[in-house]
Amino acid sequence: MTEAERNRAITRAVTMSLGGILLVAVAYQLRDVLLMVYVSALLAIGLSPVVRRIERNRLTPRRRRLPRWLAILTIYVGFLLVVALMLALTLPPLFEQFRQLADNMPTYMNRGLNVLAERGLIRRTTWTSLLPNLQAPGALISNVFGAVQGVVGVLGAMLTVLILPFYFLLESQSIHAWFLRLVRPENRAQADRISSDVTIKVGAWLGGQLLLGAIMGTTATIGFWLIGVPYFYVLGLVAGIGEMIPVVGPIIAAVPAILLGWTVSPQTALIVMFYCWAQQFVENNLLVPRIMERQVGISPATIIVALLVGSTLLGLVGAILAVPTAAIMQVVFQELVVKEDQGKK
């Protein structure tokens, strides 16, 4: 190697190192944006099989395909109609139960404080006597403004995550073609298989999560109503949402149900605890293996490791995204490593 070639190699290595460092720094600064884009991409990938199924419907006399934008819009309109129907059925009793809960909250808090005082954990006091000492008015107003800003930020992020998949789905063919152009011609067939398998896996995960949430929310509402727990509509909604959060979500959702069962009687709290445990037992041993393991194809050990890594890196959001990310990595690993090794043999 001549001196000039050595200098060019050193310059190229230094330039690539600096470029890599700059890229990592920019990605870190844009981590929130990249995370929203990733979540939107997962939703778009998960919905793409449904879009293709709707596109295949022949609704015109000439048997023409349904336009892609209309197929995507059909999904969005259907989703909004389902949400509107659920809200129409649940909001009136939900608001009534929330109002009753707010009215009875001081009573519940006083009962809890009395229990703690009887056990010597705190001095005997009441909820109303604690309120003046909680925060100064200025700090309270500041916290209210902070909470409002947080809610606005969350709503903005949710709106972005709902709108962006529409455009991803609309431009999916051009995005797919652009992705294949980044790959060498001899590897494009393999890259196309990977993208197809990823679409199937993520679609199965998304459908499984929605199905699990609906099942757990419905059974929780009916079960709490039969047991006699107050505010069962609220608790059922919390259980359905909690099911979307792996591992910790159902546990967190069970806590308010047990506490509200305790306000009825200790026996009711025990029944609620047993019912929540039975729900999770059936879900973990019957529903999840059939829906997640068979359809998505991820072993329980892989799911646990993915949840640990995801929650450590990104907290709650990482736990939610851990399973589809593990499914994508599994597809890539099987295609690039396992199949290549089998081909060499």
CA dihedral of 128, 131, 132, 138, whole degrees rounded to 10: -150
Cα distance between residue 44 and residue 202, in whole Å:
9
Model pTM score: 0.65
Using CB atoms within 10 A of its CB, is residue 108 exposed (0-12), middle (13-18) or buried (19+)? middle
- Residue pair 266/259 in contact (Cβ under 8 Å)? The answer is no
Give me the pLDDT at residue 134, please. 47
Residue 128: pLDDT over 60: no
Residue 143: pLDDT over 80: no
288's CB contacts (< 8 A; 6+ apart) are 212
Which ranges constitute the DSSP H helices of 228-299?
232-242, 248-264, 266-282, 288
Residue 244: pLDDT over 60: yes
Cα distance between residue 101 and residue 254, in whole Å:
17
The residue type found at 56 is R
Q: Please, which pLDDT band fits residue 129 given cuts at 50, 70 and 90?
A: low
Range of 122-136, 143-157, 216-230 with top mean pLDDT: 216-230
Give me the pLDDT at residue 207, please. 80
Q: Which long-range contacts does 224-227 make (Cβ < 8 Å, 24+ apart)?
A: 224/257, 224/272, 224/275, 227/261, 227/268, 227/271, 227/272, 227/275
Give me the pLDDT at residue 333, please. 82
- Residue pair 36/157 in contact (Cβ under 8 Å)? The answer is yes
Closest CA to 283 of 231, 320, 244, 313: 244
pLDDT digits (tens, 9 = 90+) for 283-324: 777 777 677 776 677 777 777 777 778 878 877 778 778 888
254 vs 101, more confident: 254
Burial 240-275 (b: 16+ CB within 10 A, else e): bebbebbeebbeebbebbbebbbbeeeebbebbeeb
Cα distance between residue 213 and residue 225, in whole Å:
18
Element (H, E) at 229: none
Give me the pLDDT at residue 274, please. 92
Residue 249: pLDDT over 70: yes
Percent of the chain with pLDDT over 90: 2
Give me the pLDDT at residue 202, please. 84
Cα distance between residue 98 and residue 338, in whole Å:
54
Q: Please, which pLDDT band fits residue 127 given cuts at 50, 70 and 90?
A: low
